[in-house]
Structure 1
Amino acid sequence: MKKLLGFKRAVSFLCAALLLLSTIVFSNQFSIVSKAEENTYVYFYNVNHWSEVGAYIYGDKGELLGGWGNTTASAASEIGEDWVKVAVSEVPPFNIIFYNKSNDAKRAELYLPTEENLYVTANSESYTSASEAEENSVPDAEDPEEEENTNTDFEGETVVYFLDSKDWGNIRSYVYGNPGEALGSWPGQEVEKADELGEKWDKITVPAKTPFSIIFFNAENDSERTELLLSDERHVYVTGGKAVYGSKNEAELAEGFADPSLMTDIYFYDYKNWDDINGYFYEKEDNENKDSKSYVIGADWPGQAAKKDESLGDNWWKVSVPKDASEEPFWGVFNNGVNQTEDIFFTDKEKVYVTPSGATYSSKEDAENAAKEEASVKDDCEEGPNTDLEKEISFDGSGAKTPYNTLQAEAAKTNGEVLEKSTEYTKAIQSEAIGRQAVKLNDSGDYVEFTLPEKANSLVLRYAMPDSEDGLGNNGSLALSVDGEFVKDIELSSKHAWVYGSYPFNNTVSNGKSHRYFDETRILLAKSFEAGAKLKLEKTDSTQYYVVDLIETEYVNAPITQPEDTISVEDFGAVANDGNSDLAGFTKAIKAAKETGKGVWIPEGNFDFPDKKAIEVNGVKIYGAGMWYTNLNGAGAAFKYSGTSKFYNFAINGVSTVRDDKGDLAAFEGSGDRATNVTIENIWIEHTKVGVWAANTENLVIQGSRIRNTYADGINMCSKTNGSVVRNNSIRNTGDDGIAIWPWLADSSNNTITHNTIQVPTLANGIAIYGGSNNKATDNYITDIINNGSGIAVGTEFDIKKDFGGTTTVSGNLLERAGSRQSDESYDIGAIWMWASKRSMEADYQIVNNKIVDAVYEGILLEANYALDKVTIKNNSIDGATYAVEVFEPSSNYGAGKVNAEISNNKTANLSVGFIKNNNPNAVLNVVEEKEETIIDKIKEVITDIVEVVSGNDNEAAESSQQDNSVKNENVSTGRSDGQTSVSSSNNTDSSDNGQKVEAVSVSAETVDANADVEKIMATTNNITTSKNQSRKANKTSAETVTENEEISLSNDLSLDNDDSKTEESDKEEGTVVQSSDADENSISDEAVPAAANEEANNSGIFVFAGILGVILISAIYLALQINKKYKNK
């Protein structure tokens, strides 16, 4: 009797499940047929009265209105006089552009998230009704965003000439940088013929004075371009060879259009085997004064590539300069991008044989003889490991171990305005605050009060205040009191905050796009205060507002005393606190220390370096009294190092207010000569171009330092920086990558970035690895990425000498609120970003044991314009993201690259969309289900077989199954011949779905027929939901098609998805997701295509599913009999 009761229960359960399945089958089929017959109208409020309004749609669903320029919006008189509309065969979400067909730079471009938001304005906003859209629409002349992004307040005029040596023909020019977009937004303006110079010359009149950055490009193919900085009003003759000259004749000589006998041929003897020699040449405003302003001749650094001259023998290289040195002397540097000669002054056409020391000779023989003597001279480099790494640091979790406490303003007591969390770049000040929140003090008497957690005698205040109208900064103050007793007014300024316009940004307020709102000040107090003391910051002046992000409180010990075996800079003429230049005193002290083998001591006080000339150090140790006590201030507060040089315990305070890559200095920079075992320890750096720019450096150690508020990178381990360690540093508010490894002109490998705290880079990434072998980023704490970057990026975006090799490791890092919008190309970037954008990445990549919290978008993004191979994503924790992992190919210009990734044992929670999204058109995701087969699994297998029979694809299914079985050990499915994406995913846990183990899924981006909808039901049975894409955008020059792709959310829950909106959205998908599982890990690969691809199949789908339902019922009876037979046998 119990057996029979069990049988009846099994049959009842089975029938209920089948009835539910059949209901969903019919509802989905009818829904899709209905949708195929409807159009969605999107309306545009043409408030600027464009004569013709074009419309273009792109994204996962493809070009729904055809290619760019194909669709013109029609009048929507039923709404109002200025309304137009387009009919779309799909419902949102999708990306749409409305544009002026007479000038497509005028456009409204946005992402429509739902079918309710169908009323679009010229402000690139969408609304749910026409009246709401009209109410919020602003014409161009009044649009504050338009107005602030267009700078018409330029000064002067510069005519720039372009020699079309590459025969581009149709040429445009675009200007950006310090004066703003002087020729308008991209793509700028057409050039005009410069007949006065000759047939191949064009010109453009720029309504601004130099310096500015300019691009000349082929309008038919904008990858063909010359892009450079014009630094003066004379050197304005540009060539297609990416070079600039001071005259028409120089440019024509360089490009081979003039008599070569007028050139100066210079020869370099490379007995040191530098290889890949370049010649960088320039002239001076005053050639007799080496320190006067210089102007590049030809190609920018590292200069023009030299050619081997075998007629002179081995190791001889030749480069031709388009000037007669006898008539017009010039300067030059030979280099391989890392090693380089001294600056050489060429004064005639005879003395042109150069050795690596920078000496010049009149004959090949003289140069070779001198080189023998040079080769016997040893450099000042210690060999072996850097002993400063022997200092033990006891870390507690990820990030740096710091001596200060950080107190957030929004968590403190206040009567001010607590700003809500925001990530609105260029719009909300708090988007650049730590934690995306801050406190705004608007009125006199507004305050924020902190409680000291430990004894302290110093504080750092991170704040924002309004900029001045001229962009040069306002001054103000906040009153500091402790326990109700006034202590002092803390002086504040916005001088080093607020930049505007396009990269590399500037101080011109009218350029708009403001950002970099925050700066910091540090105060060493006259006495210490105990734990529990109340520190109050109060607004008492007429400044419009102050925004307080945080304070850091610290107990600072007394100054360090002078070490033994050192000499003081004060003994050589340097004087603290007098406001005069101390460069001469420092230079003399360093020279004396070098000669005597001693170190250099910099006592407590402020030392000044007003001129932009770095202090050169070769094999000397330099000590300060502490980062709170010894201060080097000014534009020349910077070191160029070589040999074994070491720097301890002082601060460098620069004076930069914008990013000036040509003019400003890095606080520390490799000189180009070989350096080993360099140490930069306990150094505080602020307001410089870069913190540390290492080059040709081995065993560098940077530790215990604070690098804040730079205008480019915090630290860049550039060309030939090897075996180095960056650890236990605080890096904040950099203008580019917090820490980067960039093997630009030579390999940079075996470097470790570990236990650093990196916060709010205002552009780019917390950490970036752009190439090299066996580099590691481990146990770092990275927060609050702002724009165009991720917490950690590994990619091929920039030119490099050495691509990836060995194993690149990203492990043990904690990333909070990481990832951002790629604002140039309009897509979302994950907290961790694998970025095969310009070249293939075919090495080994380990993304393991990281913790991602509250990612702005994806947890991990795999971007693959090119191949991305051997990626392991394992044992990571992702709590809060859109997707845990996204596979993404952003541009049809390149085509999707092959991706090979293993994804396993990851824990996820609070994913707003799903576990994995595949946006690569060649995607095949192989996943293995690891659980015992159940009755429901058997039903799924039966349904799969039925689908194949009904659709006539039995043979194809069998072949697909054989293919999958043949590769099951590698977990790779066969894709198209032009590339594929393979992802094996197992044992991933989504705690937002009851902690269940993620199921195995196989997804194919190839195409089939109407049985896609049955396959969709199978996917739904296993809680595999599909949903639509976030906003994607075409590049600056044209809107591009993104091939249809699928998004996948994975769960091991066997129940149906209870979210009706998700199910409905899934039904709208044009493609399908195919579930494949087997207890023996043998996968069945079923193909899928957009249902819309075969209209006839859609129309006949109802009859197909009616047949399927009948077979399902027969199968149910069959299964029931099998179960009954099983019980009888028992």
Structure 2
Amino acid sequence: MKFRKQLTLLLTMTGLGLLSHGTAFAETRTELWTKESHDYGAKLPYLRYEAEEGVGSDAVLKHSTTYDETEMEASNQSYVQLTKEDSSLRFTLKKAANAMTLRFTMPENASGELEISVERNGELLGKKTLELDNSSAWQYVKENDVFDEKIAGSHSRFRFDERHFLLENDNKELMELEEGDVLTIRRTDKKADELGIDFIELEEAPEAKGAPSNSISITDAPYSAVPNDGQDDSKAFLDALKDADKENKTLYIPVGTFDFDRKLVISATDMRITGAGIWHTQLHFTSEEQAGGGIEFLDSSSNVEMDNLYMDSELKSRFHQEANYKGIAGVLGENSKLHDLWLEHFECGIWVGDYVEADKMKYTKNLTVSNSRIRNNFADGVNFAQGTKNSKVQNSNIRGNGDDGLATFASKAIVKIKEKVNGVERVRYIHTKSKPAENNAFLNNTVELTWRAAGIALHGGANHCIEGNLVKDITSGSGLRVSTVFPGYNFDDNQNISIKRNLLIQTGTDNDFYGNALASIHFEKLYGEMKKIQVTDNRLINSPHGKYSANFYIPEEGTTEITLRNNEVKNIDLEPMLAEEEKNFVPLSEEEKLAEEQKKEEELKKAEEQKKAAEQQAKHEGEQSGHDGALNIELHDQEEIPVTANFKLYWFSGETEENGRTVRYWVKKLEGIHLDESMEYSLEDGTKVFNFTPDDIPEYIPISGTAFEEDYYYEGEDWIRWESPEGVQYVKIRYWSPKEA
């Protein structure tokens, strides 16, 4: 069994004295964030229209900042629910457009249908029918694992997905929209499933690019790939690539969708692979199998340019985090450029690194990823790993990914290799011993709506730079993360890591899937120390869980190794804007309100019944639960509880059988304790000590009038984090059971 060590100490410095309370100075939240984010993030050609900016008919504006609610995965934690057939959402265009991206949510395994219509001066310009399903979405996170199906204790995530398309009417004629046109999204299916709209993005897609001079097209003879025919084009692509590489020509993929039923493992040197544009050329990988698709560059590749393509896949699973199905992976040698790409629905968008024995290791240097859209993948957006150096991601949108949006990773990887020896398949493990990642940079990107882990993360390495980025709506992790939680080089050779002039809006979480609250900027160490890290001149807006957090003590002003300087915190009251937005939506009827209330009451009743059953089971197991050969695990930190522990201090939370042994799960009763300033405490070496009984619902014991040694048995003690009126404190809880009369 694998267990992740829980954060041993979480320090969140709210910086309350630095909070400035602004007033609403814009008509909508979108306008507010546009003004605040000027000069931060990527500059890309689309204009976003948040659903709450629209006008609804039989539509409901949903907003919540409660952990695990669907709204928390939405931009601004708000979306609009189209409640039934003919529910609609209407926008007035602020800019000309002919292409659209739609972000939406539906329950798992649901489908729906929308009609998109455009009016100009009251007259219909055209309509487009859009079929929706969420077959690429929905995952379930439990601590360090991600599952395809919901299991006990898991959290639903990846509940939003996207579709993008040219605004062609049902006759396949392109509609050229103008400022002032009215675009309406109307629900046309009769299903009862929820269908929610988060936002749309509209832009003017450029015309398709023709074949460059001195190029080979995969549709040329003898390759003869045929677009949009649903047939495998792998051989045509690989044969054309081989000839283009040999003849020093560009490989061109023209307009249309080209299908591939396998991973394209390629070698390319001093060449360009290009398409007709992200709106016109699609590379679609049809396999759902592990390692079934994507492009992997062999370590003989170098000086590659790849651009103007859209890539996606039919991957539906992370395969217990071993999918090995990246959009682009492998080694790109020196001076390669990936730009104007759109990658989604892979395990990771781009993962750079070689995974072979140390003496065979090759490295990527001076790679640039730019002007790209890397979205809705199961894990990282972009990860520079295995000694990648002098490489950067710039001016790109990284959205809706299921692990760090952008990361550089100085690991010492251990790799499982499957091979056949004399016809017999065997598995062996190698230690790659790659060099550390160095001098990598993430510059002027927009990283948003990551549904697991951080917006941007540095997992070791040296001399990296994170600057000018907009990180927004990261509610299951921190906005920026610096860590040594993986074995590797960590920051041993670092001379200067610079994290400066970034804007973080609505980042941080009250539960990192281990029960820990993380602030907008989080530091975590396990395998090594933090060294020479500069965090300066960043702006943090509406950070609900504070500015900095760490699993070790770090003062507000930083340490000798971590510089924290001039990081501005701003808190803006959004309630007036929300109130104005709600005026554009029809409220729930009394019957709908009653149905929602009844549903919540039923859920609460069910939860209470489950709790009582668990308590009865815990009583049945008694204090000897640890002595019957079972393995006892604390549910949240996944650490083994010794048999000598006092199980009165835990709630029983169920059991399983694994390899013939009973595994029992327990939750600390600390989680049922809530402190307030009226409670009495004692001071021991400057630490506050509060007293409680270890009952199923722990009861506070006042100091006044209590003879602890005479009337109570001492049961044990533990630490708890308390957000007191004086600030965040770590205090001690001491448990006592009354002696029988």
Q: Which residue of 1 aligns with 2:302?
A: 643
Structure-1 separation of matches of 2:545 and 2:453: 15
Q: Following TM superposition, by how much is the alpha carbon of 1:398 offset from its aligned partner in structure 2, in angstroms?
A: 0.7
Q: Which residue of 1 aligns with 2:66?
A: 424
Structure-2 separation of matches of 1:1069 and 1:779: 47
Per-residue displacement from partner, 1:1032-1084 (whole Å, max 9, x unpaired)? 9962336899xxxxxxxxxxxxxxxxxxxxx9929856559xxxxxxxxxxxx
Q: Which residue of 2 aligns with 1:479?
A: 115
2:439 counterpart of 1:758: no
User: Does the Cα contact within 8 Å between 2:137 and 2:161 map onto a contact in 1?
Assistant: yes
Structure-1 separation of matches of 2:637 and 2:682: 25
1:1065 is paired with a residue whose SS is coil
- Range with greater deviation from structure 2 (533-542 or 504-513): 504-513
2:134 counterpart of 1:494: yes
Per-residue displacement from partner, 1:990-1026 (whole Å, max 9, x unpaired)? xxxxxxxxxxxxxxxxxxxxxxxxxxxxxxxxxxxxx
Q: Which residue of 2 aligns with 1:654?
A: 313
2:510 is paired with a residue whose SS is strand
Match of 1:665 among 300, 307, 325: 325
Q: Following TM superposition, by how much is the alpha carbon of 1:808 offset from its aligned partner in structure 2, in angstroms?
A: 1.3
**What are the equivalent positions in structure 2 for 1:442-481 lying under 5 Å apart?**
442-468=83-109, 474-481=110-117
User: Does the Cα contact within 8 Å between 2:54 and 2:89 map onto a contact in 1?
Assistant: yes
**What are the equivalent positions in structure 2 for 1:268-417 lying under 5 Å apart?**
396-417=38-59
Match of 1:694 among 336, 352, 356: 352
Q: Which residue of 1 aligns with 2:247?
A: 596
In 2 relative to 1, CA 1071–556 (structure 1 residues): closer, same or farther, beyond 3 Å? farther
User: Does the Cα contact within 8 Å between 2:208 and 2:277 map onto a contact in 1?
Assistant: yes
In 2 relative to 1, CA 416–812 (structure 1 residues): closer, same or farther, beyond 3 Å? farther
Structure-2 separation of matches of 1:222 and 1:741: 23
Structure-2 separation of matches of 1:609 and 1:865: 51
Per-residue displacement from partner, 1:489-547 (whole Å, max 9, x unpaired)? 11211101112363543333566632211100011011211011111111121222210
Which amino acid in 1 is paired with 2:72?
S
Q: Following TM superposition, by how much is the alpha carbon of 1:423 offset from its aligned partner in structure 2, in angstroms?
A: 3.5
In 2 relative to 1, CA 481–665 (structure 1 residues): closer, same or farther, beyond 3 Å? same
Q: Following TM superposition, by how much is the alpha carbon of 1:575 offset from its aligned partner in structure 2, in angstroms?
A: 2.0
User: Does the Cα contact within 8 Å between 1:612 and 1:664 map onto a contact in 2?
Assistant: no
In 2 relative to 1, CA 1069–1092 (structure 1 residues): closer, same or farther, beyond 3 Å? closer
**What are the equivalent positions in structure 2 for 1:1106-1121 lying under 5 Å apart?**
none
Q: CA RMSD in A?
A: 3.2
Per-residue displacement from partner, 1:93-151 (whole Å, max 9, x unpaired)? xxxxxxxxxxxxxxxxxxxxxxxxxxxxxxxxxxxxxxxxxxxxxxxxxxxxxxxxxxx
Q: Which residue of 1 aligns with 2:375?
A: 708
User: Does the Cα contact within 8 Å between 2:294 and 2:328 map onto a contact in 1?
Assistant: no
In 2 relative to 1, CA 651–639 (structure 1 residues): closer, same or farther, beyond 3 Å? farther
Q: Which residue of 1 aligns with 2:696?
A: none
Q: Following TM superposition, by how much is the alpha carbon of 1:756 offset from its aligned partner in structure 2, in angstroms?
A: 0.5
Structure-1 separation of matches of 2:200 and 2:106: 16
2:474 is paired with a residue whose SS is coil
Q: Which has the bigger relative contact order, CA under 8 A and spacing at least 6?
A: 2
Structure-2 separation of matches of 1:758 and 1:806: 26
Structure-2 separation of matches of 1:879 and 1:810: 19
User: Does the Cα contact within 8 Å between 1:505 and 1:658 map onto a contact in 2?
Assistant: no
User: Does the Cα contact within 8 Å between 1:416 and 1:439 map onto a contact in 2?
Assistant: no
Per-residue displacement from partner, 1:811-862 (whole Å, max 9, x unpaired)? 1111111011344431210101121233221x21111111111113111113
Per-residue displacement from partner, 1:661-683 (whole Å, max 9, x unpaired)? 43442111124xx7011111000
Structure-1 separation of matches of 2:183 and 2:406: 33
User: Does the Cα contact within 8 Å between 1:573 and 1:584 map onto a contact in 2?
Assistant: no
In 2 relative to 1, CA 654–425 (structure 1 residues): closer, same or farther, beyond 3 Å? farther
Structure-1 separation of matches of 2:49 and 2:146: 31
Which amino acid in 2 is paired with 1:668?
I
Which amino acid in 1 is paired with 2:252?
W
Match of 2:176 among 519, 523, 528: 528
Larger CA Rg, structure 1 vs 2 = 1
Q: Which residue of 1 aligns with 2:233?
A: 582
Match of 1:513 among 141, 155, 160: 155
Q: Which residue of 1 aligns with 2:608?
A: none
Which amino acid in 2 is paired with 1:541?
D
In 2 relative to 1, CA 865–405 (structure 1 residues): closer, same or farther, beyond 3 Å? same
Q: Which residue of 2 aligns with 1:770?
A: 459
Structure-1 separation of matches of 2:114 and 2:42: 30
2:216 is paired with a residue whose SS is strand
Structure-2 separation of matches of 1:222 and 1:836: 12
Structure with the higher fraction of residues in helix conformation? 1
In 2 relative to 1, CA 1033–435 (structure 1 residues): closer, same or farther, beyond 3 Å? farther
Q: Which residue of 2 aligns with 1:441?
A: 82
Q: Which residue of 1 aligns with 2:206?
A: 557
User: Does the Cα contact within 8 Å between 2:99 and 2:165 map onto a contact in 1?
Assistant: yes
User: Does the Cα contact within 8 Å between 1:417 and 1:439 map onto a contact in 2?
Assistant: yes
Q: Following TM superposition, by how much is the alpha carbon of 1:415 offset from its aligned partner in structure 2, in angstroms?
A: 2.5
TM-score, structure 1 as length reference: 0.43
Match of 1:848 among 536, 541, 546: 536
Match of 1:779 among 464, 468, 472: 468
Q: Which residue of 1 aligns with 2:677?
A: 1065
- Runs (5+) with no aligned partner, structure 1: 1-173, 175-214, 224-394, 469-473, 883-1031, 1042-1062, 1073-1086, 1100-1130
Structure-2 separation of matches of 1:538 and 1:851: 39
2:279 is paired with a residue whose SS is coil
Report the identity percentage.
29
Runs of 4+ with deviation above 4 angstroms: 509-512, 865-869, 1038-1041, 1066-1072, 1087-1093
In 2 relative to 1, CA 537–800 (structure 1 residues): closer, same or farther, beyond 3 Å? same
How many residues are matched? 515
Structure-1 separation of matches of 2:107 and 2:686: 56
Per-residue displacement from partner, 1:354-384 (whole Å, max 9, x unpaired)? xxxxxxxxxxxxxxxxxxxxxxxxxxxxxxx
In 2 relative to 1, CA 416–809 (structure 1 residues): closer, same or farther, beyond 3 Å? farther
- Runs (5+) with no aligned partner, structure 2: 8-36, 168-173, 288-292, 354-362, 413-434, 574-633, 646-674, 692-702, 706-741
Q: Which residue of 2 aligns with 1:880?
A: 571
User: Does the Cα contact within 8 Å between 2:62 and 2:80 map onto a contact in 1?
Assistant: no
Q: Following TM superposition, by how much is the alpha carbon of 1:596 offset from its aligned partner in structure 2, in angstroms?
A: 1.4
**What are the equivalent positions in structure 2 for 1:198-217 lying under 5 Å apart?**
215=2
User: Does the Cα contact within 8 Å between 2:103 and 2:197 map onto a contact in 1?
Assistant: yes
Which amino acid in 2 is paired with 1:548?
I
Which amino acid in 1 is paired with 2:392?
V
1:487 is paired with a residue whose SS is strand
User: Does the Cα contact within 8 Å between 1:766 and 1:791 map onto a contact in 2?
Assistant: yes
1:410 is paired with a residue whose SS is helix
2:189 counterpart of 1:541: yes
Structure with the higher fraction of residues in strand conformation? 2
1:431 is paired with a residue whose SS is helix
Structure-1 separation of matches of 2:245 and 2:129: 44
Structure-2 separation of matches of 1:693 and 1:1089: 46
Per-residue displacement from partner, 1:726-746 (whole Å, max 9, x unpaired)? 100001110111000001133
Structure-1 separation of matches of 2:507 and 2:500: 16
Structure-1 separation of matches of 2:204 and 2:407: 31
1:585 is paired with a residue whose SS is helix
In 2 relative to 1, CA 414–706 (structure 1 residues): closer, same or farther, beyond 3 Å? same
User: Does the Cα contact within 8 Å between 1:770 and 1:797 map onto a contact in 2?
Assistant: yes
